[in-house]
Structure 1
């Protein structure tokens, strides 16, 4: 995390939006290639923050929206986008995850002005938690780039129970409400969708072939232009593209993400 945009006395604590997505971070093998790719596709600018030369902050109009690190720098072996959820107490959140069958890859460890941990739910989907001051106003952050994050898993209801208990969804401590809409578990904050959990039709049995994972969705003005730029800069269009309002793209290192028109 970083503090270069919002003065410390104006930032809010993660506990004020406990349970909600509050950051997204990419792990990659080639930091320079990732910066060039996402600048071309999403128009992001880049800065070095307090976490050193192995971590970069992406910004939109001067507002930090995402982070990118070299895989080894974050204790990661996988190349992927990872959502981070806000928590008032990282230690308690990690303990609740472990009690419910989740695993801990890293942390909690100190990243001033806060603490972070990398976890996986009991089906193996990776996610992070953040305790401390948020980089910017949370409302501004989530409207600047990420549309929402979506979990693709084998059993949406089982996953929803896990995350609700671990992240305090739908509790007095949390800031979100859980709903069931269009065969998906939907997490809302003041009516706006901030996360979804999907596992197929409600009548279908859990699919053992699905590799559970969180996927990050970004709002763009032109999906076709993003898809074209992705292909021109070493990425791939996995689904959608020309004529579509949504597309699944992969960067040159294979990390997947979604672009969707507002």
Structure 2
């Protein structure tokens, strides 16, 4: 768990409230040095320390915090994967809502430096985190530039939107909440008018391939996805698929430890 509370962490740029929105993504790896070597070469990221300890790093792109990387997969006995974190007002209340709706809280809530965090899995098994506390410095800029964003692949996006809406207070009408719309057979989550997540139907709960089961999938914006894909191959990663969509080029990659993510061309 590498929460969005880094050495460069402060408040929202405008001091505006935010809750229910994905506010950070974090990789739980087994070997921190190996993960830093791979993502440094593939993504061109630099890495800074955080006050959580030697097992945590924050990835920086042109000086902007993009994601967290930690070596806690083995300690928490979880799969190596990229995980989104959602901002909440009260981690304990949110954890109770998760349990009440038949889902699982696997870790926490626990106090982590300046806030409280937890790891959970929804009713279909998709893993996500919650975070109560300060967000990355100038979070609104992070949201608007979308260096990282997330998509839920699930069996039924409508049902998932109800679950997450009840847990995370989507469409509550209070300042800082997220809005939900249904567009082109998927659920689109917006905060401050910006798309911050998508929920898509079609995953199969019992699929033998973990990439086809319900899961939250992390996307990163880069200038040239195909060039980054070649770097990933050279560093021992696997290019699972690549192509060009209506929004531009993309590449889906698995790092050497099995964590999958997608690179999208900056539009």
TM-score, with length taken from structure 2: 0.88
Mark the CA change 1:23 to 1:253 in structure 2 (over 3 Å): closer, same or farther.
same
Q: Is the Cα–Cα contact under 8 Å of residues 55 and 72 in structure 2 kept in the other structure?
A: no
Identify the residue that residue 123 of structure 1 maps to in structure 2.
124
Uncovered stretches (5+) of structure 1, i.e. residues with no partner: none
Mark the CA change 1:15 to 1:103 in structure 2 (over 3 Å): closer, same or farther.
farther
Once residues 14 and 258 of structure 1 are traced to their aligned partners in structure 2, the CA distance between those partners, rounded to angstroms, is 31
Instruction: Give 1:60 shift.
Output: 1.4
SS in 2 for 1:34: helix
- Within 5 A, what are the aligned runs for 1:82-93? 82-93=83-94
Instruction: Give 1:140 shift.
Output: 2.1
Uncovered stretches (5+) of structure 2, i.e. residues with no partner: none
Identify the residue that residue 33 of structure 1 maps to in structure 2.
34
The 10-residue stretch of structure 1 (31-40 or 64-73) with the greater mean CA deviation from structure 2:
64-73
Q: Is the Cα–Cα contact under 8 Å of residues 41 and 231 in structure 2 kept in the other structure?
A: yes
Q: Is the Cα–Cα contact under 8 Å of residues 15 and 87 in structure 1 kept in the other structure?
A: no
SS in 2 for 1:172: coil
Mark the CA change 1:15 to 1:122 in structure 2 (over 3 Å): closer, same or farther.
farther
SS in 1 for 2:17: helix
Find out whether 1:248 has 2:247 as its counterpart: no
Once residues 114 and 82 of structure 2 are traced to their aligned partners in structure 1, the CA distance between those partners, rounded to angstroms, is 22
Number of residues of Structure 1 aligned to a counterpart in Structure 2: 256
SS in 2 for 1:185: strand
Mark the CA change 1:255 to 1:261 in structure 2 (over 3 Å): closer, same or farther.
same
Once residues 5 and 197 of structure 1 are traced to their aligned partners in structure 2, the CA distance between those partners, rounded to angstroms, is 30
The CA RMSD measured in Å over matched residues stands at 2.4
TM-score, with length taken from structure 1: 0.90
The 10-residue stretch of structure 1 (239-248 or 226-235) with the greater mean CA deviation from structure 2:
239-248
Mark the CA change 1:148 to 1:29 in structure 2 (over 3 Å): closer, same or farther.
same
Instruction: Give 1:35 shift.
Output: 0.7
Find out whether 1:107 has 2:108 as its counterpart: yes
Instruction: Give 1:63 shift.
Output: 2.1
Identify the residue that residue 259 of structure 1 maps to in structure 2.
263
Once residues 219 and 105 of structure 1 are traced to their aligned partners in structure 2, the CA distance between those partners, rounded to angstroms, is 30
The 10-residue stretch of structure 1 (117-126 or 190-199) with the greater mean CA deviation from structure 2:
190-199
Cα-to-partner distance string for 1:93-129 (whole Å, 9 max, x where unaligned): 1111111111011111011211100011011100000
Mark the CA change 1:155 to 1:182 in structure 2 (over 3 Å): closer, same or farther.
same
The 10-residue stretch of structure 1 (163-172 or 12-21) with the greater mean CA deviation from structure 2:
12-21
Identify the residue that residue 217 of structure 1 maps to in structure 2.
219
Once residues 77 and 15 of structure 2 are traced to their aligned partners in structure 1, the CA distance between those partners, rounded to angstroms, is 23
Q: Is the Cα–Cα contact under 8 Å of residues 29 and 71 in structure 1 kept in the other structure?
A: yes
